[in-house]
Amino acid sequence: MRKRTILATLTAPALAVPLLMAAPAGAHGWVTGPPSRSALCANGTVTNCGPIQWEPQSVEGPKGFPGGGPADGRLCAGGNSTWAPLDNPRNGAWPSTPVTSGGSLTFNWKITARHATTYFRYYVTKSSWNPTQPITRASLESTPFLTVPYNSRQPETYTSHTATLPSGRSGKAVIFAAWDVADTGNAFYSCSDVTF
């Protein structure tokens, strides 16, 4: 009986360590509404997404967009090949959220690690963008339509930003969100497909 107790006492921590190490290291945040590509993969609306379906919060890459940051064609994945399915245009078939040109839209984030933040910025693809092509800097408007400064404050676990969308738009578009962290060299990226 005593040997069993000692064995159980020694075995439990040994089993717990690998389980703790298997937890996602990159838990940070993603746009839940309008649903980002990460959210659509995580909730099962879109399949064949690879591991992003279990880690929608982990699209992290170098900050400094548009001068730096992820490479063109790899923006939705934050430049990380692990999340490459997010950059696949799927022949323009990503589910999209109906929005109104010139109307307001609220962006909801779920943040699992609250970092000191420089700002959140939101860009939209140009009206000439082809939905069957990956997102590049040239396919995005050069100026964000919404910038929310945080001055190194931490966002809340559930954070929302309301924007007035560009006017005179119709058809499909992608909203590219960048959350720049103040205390690391990285940012978090999110792409939401919409239809004006």
Mean model confidence pLDDT for the chain: 87
Q: Which CATH number describes the domain made up of 28-195? A: 2.70.50.50
Q: Which residues sit opposite 146 in a β-bridge?
A: 122
Mean pLDDT (whole number) for 125-154: 95
* pLDDT value of position 39: 96
Residue 107 pLDDT greater than 60, yes or no: yes
Query: 7-11, 90-94, 114-118, 148-152: which range is least confident on average?
Result: 7-11
Identify the pLDDT of residue 2. 54
% of residues, the chain, pLDDT over 70:
86
Strand (E) or helix (H) holding 159: strand 158-164
Listed by start position, the domains of the chain span 28-195
pLDDT band at 156 (very low <50, low <70, confident <90, very high): confident
Q: Which amino acid is at 193?
A: D
pTM here is 0.84
